[in-house]
Amino acid sequence: MKRQGKQVVHGQYNILGLQEALNFGRQETRDYYKRYINPGLAGLLSLLDFDKQFVRAQGAYVWDREGHRYLDFLGAYGALNLGHNPPEVVAALEEVRERPNLLQASLNPLAAALAHNLAQITPGDLSRVFFCNSGTEAVEGALKLARAATGRPKIIYCENSFHGKTLGSLSVTGRRKYQKPFAPLVPGCEAVPFNDAAALEGKLAKGDVAAFIVEPIQGEGGVIVPEDGYLARARELCDKYGSLLIVDEIQTGFGRTGYLFACEHDGVVPDIMCLAKSLGGGVMPLGAYITRPDIWDKAYGGLENYALHTSTFGGNTLAMAAGLAAVQSVVNQDLAGQAREKGRFFLEGLRRLQKKSPLLKEVRGRGLLIGLEFNTPAGGLLDRLTLGKVNELSREYFGSLVAGQLMNKYRIITAYTLNNPNVIRLEPPLVVGREDIETVLGALEEILVQRGFLSVALDSTRTALGSLFKKKA
């Protein structure tokens, strides 16, 4: 029996079960990804030999099917501040497993408690919370709130920023590559250079700006740290011209930069703060924004407007239990203090390495949000023989080559940043041990000092060719 190309067995659909999925081999997973999910992603990861099958995870470690242990210094882009499968979060989920997870005809006491906790730990008078499921949803909600509360149309954002890929969030994400295929975007969104208060004032002074949205540190932009005082000046300018300040702490929040929230470095209290990633303890999808009550009430106050912005899964029991456990653990373990101390140690080691290696252009970051930007090798016989291709390869891909070396030779997981592929991020769980940081420092020294560009490029080529031959075999 056939039904529009779908495989039907004895009148029933060919539905796979959990155990069958758990037993998928590497090639089978590749094939299904290419057929049903994202062929380009599957092709890239298999070419770089990044599509290993990981079957266990705990803390800062994951294990592949062959039993090899890897250090996770990517940390799910900041979602794993507590590490993989933190037992306190897993235990909280088990504790609520018999409660209704979704029941809109009631008020969830867990949501009430988590909102209270967020109001306690966030700066200043932020205290009204909206729960959703992801960072991009938190940004969408913040943009809508700003327009509704101010009655103004414009949103100002920064070049090189990243706030998400849904249409509203994408409209304030500062990279044309991601925006162009989906134009026209949400109108009224205009970019200014990051770390440029004068340019920001030029936009705000027109008096029609609802909000300025900014990351305290640009993560996907290449871990770009603004000068001290930039956020404080942005706060002053927003107050001066009646615009709201939205601070996107989705990647920088919950201790990542050595503060509970990165805006505290400049002593800034935003009007709206976006949260997600590690808020769910690395186990449950969970996003939120938090604002002042007067801003919320202007947009959603009263019985007429309370339902203008809602979320079916926002505030569900499992996510709230995970959030309660995660926030409590971040505070009780002083993960912000740990990130500050470990980050200082890590950055000092990386800057010593920078002095030894001409390949390492810049080391930047704060706490355990660190970016390494690489130089283009200067000239040389090999570059002349290849008509400049060596420099071109380095400029465009050297970050991914280093990440590939760390993964395939040293079993250390990293990745390049989305807006700048020649920067790799080092963003481990905040519970990472100092000895693991030393392991990464040692691996980077071998790659960048002892071996150098040509060795890395040749090894990466062999890895790619090996992957191609495996697929053909």
Q: Rounded to the nearest 5°, which phi and psi values hold at 415?
A: -160, 160
Contact present, 318 and 133 (Cβ < 8 Å): no
**Known active-site residue 248:** yes
Q: Report which residue type is found at 198.
A: A
Residue 99's CB is within 10 A of a number of other CB atoms, namely: 14
Distances (CA, A) of 451 to 401, 402, 441, 446: 13, 11, 14, 6
What would the two tokens of residue 28 be?
Answer: 């089978």
How many whole angstroms separate alpha carbon 36 and alpha carbon 47?
19
User: How long is the chain?
Assistant: 473
What would the two tokens of residue 5 be?
Answer: 């190309």
On the 0-12 / 13-18 / 19+ scale of CB atoms within 10 A, 329 is: buried
The three-point CA angle 107-326-412 to 5° equals 140
Return the residue matching tokens 């070396």.
Answer: 405
The runs of H, that is alpha helices, within 10-103 are 18-22, 26-32, 39-47, 75-78, 87-95
SS3 247: strand
What would the two tokens of residue 330 be?
Answer: 């971040």
Distances (CA, A) of 154 to 95, 147, 245, 352: 45, 8, 13, 45
Return the residue matching tokens 């990243």.
Answer: 162
Among the listed residues 216, 225, 284, 220, the one whose alpha carbon sits nearest the alpha carbon of residue 245: 216
Task: Indicate which residue of 144, 154, 203, 277 is catalytic.
Answer: 277
**Known active-site residue 131:** no
Strands ordered across the beta sheet of 128-132: 128-132, 287-291, 272-275, 244-248, 209-214, 154-158, 189-192
Task: Indicate which residue of 162, 212, 261, 398 is catalytic.
Answer: 162
Task: Indicate which residue of 248, 266, 271, 436 is catalytic.
Answer: 248
Provide the pairing of β-strand 244-248 with 209-214: parallel
Cβ contacts of 23 within 8 Å, gap of 6 or more: none
**Known active-site residue 297:** no
How many whole angstroms separate alpha carbon 416 and alpha carbon 398?
10
Cβ contacts of 24 within 8 Å, gap of 6 or more: 32, 53
How many whole angstroms separate alpha carbon 26 and alpha carbon 44?
14
Residue numbers annotated as active site? 162, 248, 277
